[in-house]
Structure 1
């Protein structure tokens, strides 16, 4: 605590980055790793405070932003102490840093530092602060209601866009976790007119000990992405370095792509009747929203001792996905539907015998199939881009070594998802940096990004490689066959780690990036062992789809997929997907 005071008072912090101060920096890093900095309710305490101080024992100092820009030099001081050197490999996921970065701009303040009005939406706060822990997982959302601009009591009533009925969002601890999360997603989609929230890893999974107490452990549907699969994992893992790539959709107030060409989402939740209006039915900005009769629906009704199945078939056009299902004979008996009965029909038995403990966890969204995954790599481990991935993207190693083969746009742009770290178009020198990385690859043709960073801590190669890691870490490089291309167009891109061959690449209306979904067919319906599922065979209609995650598809990120087809073709290809 004395040392923090010295840091605060130092005119030049470089004067303290010396070997004899290593113990002090080590102690400060230990303090910053305190679990207090990762408690979710701390965020509200600090955001609403007029002044914030850190107190430890009898010592007290101002809460300040510490050594962010100098972290690499400070970490070097600890290089001879492996325990300290590897304790924090990157400051970005550290709770203490996030608190300073986010909370300094959470409220607009008057000259006397009193609160004026909140500056960030509820969606932004939940998406920006996913790794902050809370005992009651419902507080993943509820902890921010009093500091978000759209739910702040004084300002919320006048924030709804004209003509849009946004469902109110208030804390209700009588709701179970799935209900709270579903209501949050419903609210976000209505208020933002975007489906991007289903791509972000924002939700804290239910605590097992709490699930035993409440007897409500049902798992979450695939369209609610959880924090353990985020860039740096759950709070207990955040200091171990990067775990996954950064989100392609970015934060709510900084949209990066526009794959669905600004089309609003067409979505309905769970037990809403098929004839009820979706969010976008009466709010389409350009009047070109397409809709088709919905797919065959399967109503699942949960009884006390058994699960019965009722199917209600509605008239529909042939599914445009039928021709893209190959015969996958592998049965997925290990996959069991979540313990939540679902219904999409107002006449289904669940309407007559509804148990409030259970609810339909499906959402129905509209979009169209862009293509089918035909090939993919294993997840890119430790940031090593394999040679086979580079070749599939279009890189010729032999010609490149000879210096007569420029790096194709498809290669260097795909590896950085065609954006810089700020979400803007990539700088022109990325092309040159990529060529240097490829020419200086390992003997087996792979590009080891971690090795490059250890050898070159700065420069264009370093900046480029850091962006490649943020995009490709633990993701797969994929190829896909276009659904409707007469010329057999091959799609290339980067997808989530669980991507498999024959998954579908889709454009979902309201989502700013393409998505990967997986079709499933229910099976063993008369078995006492529960409902199971398998991959659909050729021309077999899926019962539902699993949402695998967001993807980058080269040349399809800014509305090209929609712009390249006529309104009539778009209407014919549009279908409703049941995501569970």
Structure 2
């Protein structure tokens, strides 16, 4: 039988009764499997060959073994479709794949010749952790060396057809006002770039490293560069028109345009090529922690891949311990522990505990006797909540602010935004203890405790607009009722966390802007809302006074899902919305901001331990003042080793 002849093999094994069994790779550290997609008609059964090939030999000897790669989203589909696998000219069994992958293969199949592909779901034995531990680290090289990357976005729709026409009209968009496009065109384009592949964490590595990229949507294709051109035009018009109230309201889903996943994928592909200089993907300018922060809301189908999907791109990969490698035998919290410890050791900071990076649903766990997470009970508090990312999909899949910005600021910001721990860095006591369910031990100071708390400033996905009158209640709590007077210094500074945008010094006009915002609701974020629009978390501030608008924008960045608190010692601050009275305000050595910790007691051993509630802003102790008080003998501040579970 000639496997290259279309139609000769398509009738073989239409109802095979046995499954394909992988033959182990002789050298899983350097060899990969190559899928040969045999020719056939669109509706015919799919027949493929599967054989090993060497990446090392191709690199060492400059062999030109051409193949293409396919990237698609596994999503939550069950493998209900099948393909026939042939090895050495003989049928070797049936492999079941997802309907999405099957549809992609039908579109890629040629009528007259074999097409050689690399597809992770087929070319890596997903049930063999030993093989995955060696094959996943090779994926970066696989994408670099592929002649072409095809991205399967799924089946077409009326929206996708309209979006592809929109993308193809870039010259037309430039020639006239983009806003003159029909609203349905904009909706269709937004829907197209909101497809699941664009927010999948494995897509980051594929798009960053691939040579040439083509997006496939059913029977339609578009080049990646064409999409990027359209994205650039859209971003330019949105920036230019951001003060046009009418247009902005019409296209409100574009509000946080730079955080939309497609824009971030375009950014990393551009940055990787800027570093290489010659158009090839050779390096990434970002550390692993920065990658985790930038793609904090990108999803995976396996929790360990929260980290593994970005590991190969990190510029600081060589600085990490050899222990921190791909290991699918490890339980998820153990993988997270290796990541956290690596960041602490490389950068000498505990700020990694405060930054959002984990999109996956909470993974309850407890090591069973064999070390696997069979008995699931809880998630350690030293992992960030999976809902803590700053921006995410809200109504109609638009991207909007979900939470306030992290007080610690982004990694690699050039400087710390705050310095609550002064000159004291992470101590040698910092460690994980897996005899105690992965407890994290750190040293620091107990500085204060929460005595009073006000309603939290909710918004984002749960509620588009903050509670009616929430700032009125906050003002009453600090005794600022006479709006003819300027706001108390501690109050307005707390609202903005005593910083301007991006960790800058507070502008001189903030107190006056705070006063004006309180006096006249015409200066507030949104217009024509029936409820109190103190801060519409989904809208860009559009007050009549630019200074008030800038102040309100900063308040948005700081207060969302935080509550105003007063401590036992009378300090004003902002704490996570889950904080309670009597929670402790602590400063961990090596962490640039205070942390709210909750004392707990083990019900079995009666040992004391702590849970992290989250970072906080406490006015008056953000620049090392608490350490100076401790040195001066203030007995209200005590040093302690914290066991965090």
- Equivalent position of 1:298 in the other structure: none
**What is the Cα-based RMSD across aligned positions, in Å?**
3.5
Alignment partners' CA distance in 1, 2:517 and 2:313: 45
Unpaired segments of 5 or more residues in structure 2?
Answer: 1-163, 459-464, 523-530
CA contact (8 A) 1:377 1:478 kept: yes
User: SS where residue 498 of structure 2 aligns?
Assistant: coil
User: SS where residue 241 of structure 1 aligns?
Assistant: strand
Task: Please list, as runs of the form range in 1=range in 2, the aligned pairs for 1:494-573 lying within 5 A after superposition.
Answer: 494-523=574-603, 525=604, 543-566=608-631, 573=638
CA contact (8 A) 1:545 1:579 kept: yes
Unpaired segments of 5 or more residues in structure 1?
Answer: 161-165, 273-341, 344-359, 483-489, 526-530, 534-541
Match of 1:104 among 270, 277, 291: 270
Alignment partners' CA distance in 2, 1:42 and 1:548: 32
- Equivalent position of 2:481 in the other structure: 397
The alpha carbon displacement at 1:25 in A equals 1.6
CA contact (8 A) 2:444 2:586 kept: yes
- Equivalent position of 1:362 in the other structure: 439
Alignment partners' CA distance in 2, 1:397 and 1:571: 32
CA contact (8 A) 2:209 2:269 kept: no
Alignment partners' CA distance in 2, 1:505 and 1:572: 10
User: SS where residue 401 of structure 2 aligns?
Assistant: coil
User: Would the alpha carbon gap of residues 430 and 150 (structure 1) be closer, same or farther in structure 2, given more than 3 Å must change?
Assistant: same
CA contact (8 A) 1:379 1:497 kept: yes
User: Would the alpha carbon gap of residues 407 and 27 (structure 1) be closer, same or farther in structure 2, given more than 3 Å must change?
Assistant: same
User: Would the alpha carbon gap of residues 393 and 544 (structure 1) be closer, same or farther in structure 2, given more than 3 Å must change?
Assistant: same
Match of 2:558 among 471, 478, 485: 471
User: SS where residue 37 of structure 1 aligns?
Assistant: helix
The alpha carbon displacement at 1:241 in A equals 2.7
Alignment partners' CA distance in 2, 1:501 and 1:183: 33
- Equivalent position of 1:305 in the other structure: none
Alignment partners' CA distance in 1, 2:380 and 2:301: 21
Task: Please list, as runs of the form range in 1=range in 2, the aligned pairs for 1:46-445 lying within 5 A after superposition.
Answer: 46-56=207-217, 57-61=219-223, 62=225, 63-64=227-228, 65-66=231-232, 67-71=234-238, 73=241, 76-77=246-247, 90-106=256-272, 108-151=274-317, 156=318, 159=319, 166=321, 168-205=323-360, 215=374, 217-232=376-391, 239=398, 241-254=400-413, 255-266=416-427, 267-271=429-433, 342-343=435-436, 360-381=437-458, 382-384=465-467, 385-393=470-478, 396-398=480-482, 400=483, 403=484, 405-441=485-521
1:7 aligns with 2:160: no
Shifted more, 93-102 versus 448-457: the winner is 448-457
The structure with the larger Rg is: 2
User: Would the alpha carbon gap of residues 5 and 216 (structure 1) be closer, same or farther in structure 2, given more than 3 Å must change?
Assistant: farther
User: Would the alpha carbon gap of residues 178 and 263 (structure 1) be closer, same or farther in structure 2, given more than 3 Å must change?
Assistant: same
Q: How many residues are paired up?
A: 450
CA contact (8 A) 2:447 2:637 kept: no
The alpha carbon displacement at 1:253 in A equals 0.7
User: Would the alpha carbon gap of residues 455 and 192 (structure 1) be closer, same or farther in structure 2, given more than 3 Å must change?
Assistant: closer
Shifted more, 124-133 versus 454-463: the winner is 454-463
- Equivalent position of 1:579 in the other structure: 644
- Equivalent position of 1:42 in the other structure: 203
CA shift digits 1:451-491 (9 cap, x unpaired): 99676377222221121111111210000023xxxxxxx11
The alpha carbon displacement at 1:5 in A equals 3.1
User: SS where residue 397 of structure 1 aligns?
Assistant: coil
CA shift digits 1:375-419 (9 cap, x unpaired): 00121133353323123345x222x2xx3x222321221111111
The alpha carbon displacement at 1:92 in A equals 4.5
User: Would the alpha carbon gap of residues 22 and 237 (structure 1) be closer, same or farther in structure 2, given more than 3 Å must change?
Assistant: closer
Consecutive aligned runs of 4 or more in structure 1 exceeding 6 Å deviation = 207-214, 234-238, 451-455, 567-572
CA shift digits 1:272-300 (9 cap, x unpaired): 7xxxxxxxxxxxxxxxxxxxxxxxxxxxx
- Equivalent position of 2:178 in the other structure: 16
Shifted more, 189-198 versus 454-463: the winner is 454-463
CA contact (8 A) 1:492 1:553 kept: yes
CA contact (8 A) 2:426 2:589 kept: yes
User: Would the alpha carbon gap of residues 376 and 406 (structure 1) be closer, same or farther in structure 2, given more than 3 Å must change?
Assistant: same
The alpha carbon displacement at 1:145 in A equals 1.6
User: Would the alpha carbon gap of residues 566 and 52 (structure 1) be closer, same or farther in structure 2, given more than 3 Å must change?
Assistant: same
User: SS where residue 493 of structure 2 aligns?
Assistant: helix
User: SS where residue 391 of structure 2 aligns?
Assistant: coil
Match of 2:194 among 33, 41, 62: 33
The alpha carbon displacement at 1:204 in A equals 3.6
TM-score by length of 2: 0.63
TM-score by length of 1: 0.70
User: Would the alpha carbon gap of residues 92 and 108 (structure 1) be closer, same or farther in structure 2, given more than 3 Å must change?
Assistant: closer
